[in-house]
Amino acid sequence: MNIGFIGLGVMGRPMAEHLIDAGHTLHLSRVKESSQHLVTKGGRAASSAKAVAEASDIVILMLPDTPDVEAVLFGADGVASGLSAGKLVIDMSSIAPVATKGFARRIEALGCAYLDAPVSGGEVGAKAASLTIMVGGTDKAFERARPLFETMGKNITLVGSVGDGQTAKVANQIIVGLTIEAVAEALLFAKRAGADPAKVRSALMGGFAASRILEVHGERMVKGTFEPGFRIRLHRKDMTLAVDAARALDLALPNTAATQQLMNAAIANGDGERDHSALIRTLDLLAGGSR
């Protein structure tokens, strides 16, 4: 397929590379030194988001936050100004569900289709092409994009209409964030009570408390290795999306809000660029620990 890809960050670079390796023609925006290898492999650097849209039948976005998506879509020389009827825009960023619905309406008014398709799996999943992809949009648009999703991920679900993919991603991030916080509390408790956190974690992995987060992030907490798979700063953004959406729905999410505040404290203490498992450092500080 003839594809545009905008957002060549930690996640976007390997996702775009998988598409090139699968034989698709990729038009790339904002090619930097870290993504120059994509051009070497056959990707085509474009001068603007508008130029990407003009050259492509399908445009994929993988950007940090809601304002970034809005600017790339509708700003000067943005995607919308380069679209023509029949094209498809796929936003794989993790952004606000309500804003997503508004963006979709504006793109659809141009005679184009729109999917929101946020992902879960982090950098590891992006590199392994094993991402979970949660999609919102029409059946027709989903089937058109399915071969691309299957190149980048494994667990691919059409959740519902536009915006429902983002809602699923927010729900995912609530579960992940609260579970990381619970594992951090448990291992910190074990340490302060005089037990070996590594052995406690090993024991828990054989019981009902076992989880992928206890396995992977618990090991990072025990070893104190917090190189980012997914940064606290980015997870805080997702938790803020959850808190904001809950307020709009008059919905109480007390533990989500509390975990968001812990992430605020982690960022204030200089841990924003560490892996989200480093939340245990913030809990340790609250318990009188030191760096």
Number of alpha helices (DSSP H) and beta strands (DSSP E) in the chain: 13, 9
C-beta of residue 90 within 8 angstroms of C-beta of residue 61: yes
C-beta of residue 20 within 8 angstroms of C-beta of residue 77: no
The letter for the amino acid at 286 is: L
Surface-to-core class of residue 40, CB atoms within 10 Å of its CB (0-12 exposed, 13-18 middle, 19+ buried): exposed
SS3 content of the chain, % helix, strand, coil (to 5): 55, 15, 30
Tell me the C-alpha distance between 244 and 250, whole Å: 10
Strands (E) across the chain are located at: 2-6, 25-29, 44-45, 58-61, 88-91, 113-116, 119-120, 131-136, 153-160
Is 41 annotated in the active site? no
- β pairing state of 58-61 and 44-45: unpaired
Tell me the C-alpha distance between 54 and 4, whole Å: 9
C-beta of residue 262 within 8 angstroms of C-beta of residue 283: yes
C-beta of residue 80 within 8 angstroms of C-beta of residue 73: yes
C-beta of residue 60 within 8 angstroms of C-beta of residue 38: no
Q: Which of 50, 87, 169, 191 is catalytic?
A: 169
Catalytic residues: 169
